[in-house]
Amino acid sequence: MTNPYVEAFTQSINDPDGFWAGPASDCHWYKKWDKVLDDSNKPFYRWFTGGIMNTCYNALDFHVENGRGDQAALIYDSPVTDTIKTYTYTQLRDEVAKFAGVLDGLGAKKGDRVIIYMPMIPEAAIAMLACARLGVIHSVVFGGFAPNELATRINDAKPKVMITASCGIEVKRVIPYKPLLDQAIELAASKPDHCIIFQRPMEKASLIPGRDLDWADEMAKAKPADCVPVAATDPLYILYTSGTTGIPKGVVRDNGGHMVALKWTMKAIYNVDAGDVYWAASDVGWVVGHSYIIYGPLLKGCTTILFEGKPVGTPDAGVFWRVISQHKVKALFTAPTAFRAIKREDPDGKLMKGYDLSQFNTLFLAGERSDPDTLKWAETKIGVPVIDHWWQTETGWAIAANCMGLHQYPVVHGSPTVPAPGMNVQVVDPNNNQVKAGEIGALVIKLPLPPGTLPTLWNNDAGYIKSYLEEFPGYYKTADAGYIDENGYVYVMSRTDDIINVAGHRLSTGAMEEILSDHQDVAECAVLGVDDSLKGQVPVGFIVLKSGVTKDHAQIVKEVVQMVRDRIGAVASFKTATVVKRLPKTRSGKILRGTIQKIADNKEYKMPATIDDPTILGEIEEALVKIGYAGGRK
């Protein structure tokens, strides 16, 4: 007997037109589509061709006109400024319409680009939605990105207007944004006509006459702008993701498919309904922020939380519980890194006591592999399902998930469960042949990709084909390796370039990381392959210990080495690990394994633009030298 997930998945693959027409009918269209899936120009598939709609109308005006005007749309919770501010759907629509009027008054029209370089404040959401209201294509760049990285995005997107704030706040440190913006514009060949600056009280930015405009001044004199109808296939936004060449790739998201898919996922995957409170603890500069702070929850009619803070330090490791309790959050979506940080600071969950979490139903983790130890800790302490799900900037929503609104499968630690409807996930070998259940290979998605995924790269169709479609014809290359077991569960083991070849044996560093994370004293870890003259590559482990551990480091290393030998065998050749204070990460919490690997192999590397703290790399190099790597070998 089938369940609703099986029925949905089967129809989505065998009858995509029939399947996606259902969720599409739940949205507002000025003109209905001519075709659900247009495959007339393969491999450039398009969804809902001929349809005319507006994403902002569906996210705001639609709800105001259908009785949700007084419901909270967005709650701004900022422990770093001790601020909580709530916008109803009516209030948010009015603010967005007025800022759309500001952009319209500056000549920003449908198809123009606007770069948004903002901290986690409501004005970032207002700016994004105002662009969508006008059919202007926004490109959000993570606040605080280095000027040269912002300049490359300016040159590619060629924005008519740029929007920033005077500063961002990192825990207690104020980071001025305006000097970074000015340097980026100076470096860029393409120049914006205007920059709009939101002045925050903790830092006043100086404005360049003629180019720079004050947000408050412009809003005071603006006339609200109506929604501009756009084609379903028109771009909604460009989001840049790192490219292997160092040149960022501009992932394009269309309006129609994105609207349909994201609204549908809110119930199907996250099991939230209109009126529920949903929190994605991410940043608007990342894809999670686009999909699940701004668009998904508002399209569904939920209350979304925009959080300006950190899981620890604002003020402590109990802040997540405070937010969940205070705002009656039903579902939280964050990165495993956040919970590793909470677990490290408060391993016994003492800071959870005293908070009412009775409304809280589900914790969703994504952005990196969720180690079973962190999953188990969260399950035990919170007492709700902890769902690992797998997706990418390019896909915009989950590739694989336990679809809680369709059918809840048993949670298997280490697996994001099953492919989401529309995602025909398969595993292939280097010759593009499907492998047997349980065998590791390249994880790919059979074309066409479902709605809401990238239709191409910005002004770079050739790059889209080369990056994603060329290596495995007929499939989208995820660049992740893993396997699908006999029960249909997907296992994402590592990036394909993180499958290491040890004396001819293909081994997953992800599997080794799972073992290391099981050690009672390990808070988080990374395993990567480094060059070895005898075996090609050998794995090296980096472990961060839990707070308060006083045990001898050499003994802990000895124990984790034995654990890998016990569970994988001598074939793993896992003999070396080192204890470090912290691991180098991106600002979104991903461990910079590739950079560590280059340091270990004594190769040149480029300082990653997204690194959270560059000083960590020196600590990593010292640790590697002590164990005979990073130039330490003779």
> If you average pLDDT over residues 384-398, what whole number do you get?
95
Q: Which of 100-109, 218-227, 340-349, 565-574 has the lowest average pLDDT?
A: 565-574
Question: What's the pLDDT at 570?
Answer: 76
From CA 415, how far away is CA 402, in angstroms rounded? 9
Class of domain 503-626: alpha beta
The token duo for 266 is 């809110």
From CA 488, how far away is CA 406, in angstroms rounded? 16
From CA 24, how far away is CA 44, in angstroms rounded? 20
Question: What's the pLDDT at 607?
Answer: 80
DSSP secondary structure letters along 117-165: E--SSHHHHHHHHHHHHHTPEEEE--TT--HHHHHHHHHHH--SEEEEE
Specify the pTM. Answer: 0.87
Q: Which of 237-246, 277-286, 409-418, 561-570 has the lowest average pLDDT?
A: 237-246
Question: Do 270 and 333 meet the contact criterion of CB atoms below 8 Å apart?
Answer: yes
pLDDT of 634 strictly over 50: no
- 95 by DSSP, 3-state: which? helix
Q: What is the tens place of the pLDDT at every residue in 566-576?
A: 887 777 889 99
- For the chain, domain boundaries: 4-40+50-228+254-309+389-423, 503-626
Do the two domains 4-40+50-228+254-309+389-423 and 503-626 of this chain adopt the same fold? no
Q: What is the tens place of the pLDDT at every residue in 23-75?
A: 999 999 999 999 999 999 999 999 999 999 999 999 999 999 999 999 999 99
Mean residue pLDDT across the chain: 93
Of the pLDDT bands very low, low, confident and very high (cuts 50, 70, 90), residue 533 is confident
> If you average pLDDT over residues 364-377, what whole number do you get?
84
Question: What's the pLDDT at 326?
Answer: 98
Class of domain 4-40+50-228+254-309+389-423: alpha beta
Which residue, 23, 443, 575, is CA-closest to 261? 23
pLDDT of 279 strictly over 90: yes
| Crossing angle (nearest 10°) for helices 122-134 and 89-105 | 60
Question: Do 306 and 277 meet the contact criterion of CB atoms below 8 Å apart?
Answer: no
The token duo for 259 is 């609207």
Asked if the peptide bond before residue 336 counts as cis, ω within 30 degrees of 0, the response is no
